[in-house]
Amino acid sequence: MNLNVYRCDGKLLAIDCGIGFGGPENPEIEVMVPDPVWLAERRDRLVGLVITHAHEDHVGAVAHLWPMLRCPIYAGPFVSAVLRRKLGEAGLLGEAKITTVPLSGRIKLPNFDLEFLRVAHSVPEAQAVAIRTRHGIVVHTGDWKLDPDPLIGEPTDEAAFARLGEEGVLAMVCDSTNALVEGHSGSEAEVRRNLTAIIRSLKGRVAVSCFATNVARVESITRAAMAAGRQVALFGRSLRNAEAAARECGYLTDIPPYVPEDEAGFIPDDNLLLICTGSQGEPRSALAKIGADTHPQIALGEGDTVIFSSRMIPGNERGILLLQDQLARRGCKVMTADDHMVHVSGHPARDELRRLYQLVKPKYAVPVHGEWRHLSEHAALAKELQAIPVLVEDGDVLQLAPGRPDVVEGVPTGRLAVDNGRLLPINGGVLAARKRMLFNGVVMASFAVDEAGRVRGTPVVSAPGLLDGDEHIGAQLAADLARAVGELPNGLRREDDALREAARAVLRKAIGRRLRKRPNVEVHLLRV
């Protein structure tokens, strides 16, 4: 998840605004966005938000956070097409202004003169940004790779990077995702050749899963299917959205319309190929429904094949392996990048990093994207290539000029969970309570007392998820509660807080003794 901010002579420029996923440490959260509080408080100085490419971890949070930032947005044509759909779904299209900058274009904002540079990546039209300021040039690479044959769009514009190198680059803020991988990331063209050979050899229904915005991959799968005499259907909303954005920008033009989901089931098995969302095991995706055999339109089974044309994003392994297992149980043959060459990474391996450093020759290197291990390996490599590396963490303010680069300030950062349209701090009260309930359950008690604090009627205690259906224990807990309240000194019984606390304490203790759990205890007191 990305949200980068550059500051020059008092003005601020934001680059990318993406989402992340909750993952195994945050099972109560599906989607997270950066907490923009620091930036939102200074939005009068924010000259714009630039989006480098259409991946969710770079563009996915715009519709969530724009209402707090309310700044102009600048992006290339494909990002604009994708973003307009997202803002439209959020009802923000009338308010948020997107300026579509032509590829390799240049825009001047107050204190920042921006030049876009085309890079190859696993999405159409990814671009790096050269930020010219009166203090020097900073190259923000975004996600990139070198691919002589990216199939869609042009290869990385090495001449433009070399030109910047000649002009003199102060610092390069660069992708570290594959900084531990020796060699080269490989070419999209090689994946197309392999998919074509594999799909030609298959019988039965074939489903291929990949990232929706990897338009080159979608095109490769489609062409491989057509070469094998198969018709192609897209399964999943994000694939259809990406297809629409791609066609709008002049891609996939000679691909015939895809078969609608509700017609795919009528095509003979050997003549059908599905492209599905769900390569990361996302629970509501088309492939997850097919794996669970709950998809309303299509089923896969014995003799069919599912190809995962993607990598596992760290944190998603478990969900993906479970899905692959489910598909195998149904009788499907499952092929992945581990056993077949059906995927290449969109990020630079070490040879590609070397090449870019040789072209750009930055004075300073700021590795970003990846865990600390990736950043530090990238830093070591940059040093070998004559750049001075500077490592930063989330919230660090790195002063690049004037003087020697140094972290001069820390600003508050954090993450917000997207919870059905609300944004909640992930360490805040609501989600902390939910997480506690998830692991320890919740106990709810209601009781009535008269003015003197004597219990009236019978207290009710329930504990869904802890004591389901066990009325006997519920009644015992209610009796424990009534006794504890009855034992309070007269004076305290007139105070609501004291009554509630006494009830809470006795329930906590009783549940702890019986179940060895520390649940959330909610007490409702009624004075009658």
Q: How far apart are CA 519 and CA 463, in angstroms?
A: 9
Q: CB of residue 212 vs Zn ion: minimum separation in angstroms?
A: 13
Q: Which is nearer to Zn ion, 143 or 352 (CB)?
A: 143
448 CB burial (10 A radius; 0-12, 13-18, 19+): middle
Provide the edge-to-edge strand list for the sheet that holds 206-209.
231-235, 272-276, 206-209, 305-308, 333-335
Longest Cα separation, the chain: 87
What crossing angle do the helices spanning 215-227 and 188-200 adopt, rounded to 10°?
30
Q: CB of residue 174 vs Zn ion: minimum separation in angstroms?
A: 13
Q: How far apart are CA 423 and CA 412, in angstroms?
A: 17
Contact 174, 378 (CB under 8 A): yes
Q: CB of residue 152 vs Zn ion: minimum separation in angstroms?
A: 14
Q: Which is nearer to Zn ion, 126 or 274 (CB)?
A: 126
Q: Which residue has the tokens 């995962």?
A: 308
**E-assigned strands of 249-361?**
272-276, 305-308, 333-335
DSSP β-ladder status, 11-15 and 46-51 = parallel
Q: CB of residue 213 vs Zn ion: minimum separation in angstroms?
A: 9
Q: Which is nearer to Zn ion, 216 or 228 (CB)?
A: 216
Q: CB of residue 508 vs Zn ion: minimum separation in angstroms?
A: 47
Q: CB of residue 130 vs Zn ion: minimum separation in angstroms?
A: 19
Beta bridge partners of 48: 13
Q: Which is nearer to Zn ion, 53 or 192 (CB)?
A: 53
Contact 413, 428 (CB under 8 A): no
Contact 379, 365 (CB under 8 A): yes
Q: Which is nearer to Zn ion, 55 or 118 (CB)?
A: 55
For 361-405, where are the alpha helices, taking DSSP H only? 372-384
Q: Which is nearer to Zn ion, 279 or 324 (CB)?
A: 279
Please measure the distance between the N-terminal and C-terminal CA atoms of the chain and give it in whole angstroms: 53
Q: Which is nearer to Zn ion, 55 or 140 (CB)?
A: 55
Q: CB of residue 509 vs Zn ion: minimum separation in angstroms?
A: 52
| Per-residue tokens: 328 | 């195998």
Q: CB of residue 53 vs Zn ion: minimum separation in angstroms?
A: 6
The residue ranges that bind Zn ion (CB under 5 A) are: 55, 143
Q: Which is nearer to Zn ion, 111 or 176 (CB)?
A: 176
Q: By C-alpha distance, which of 342, 300, 296 is closest to 323?
A: 300
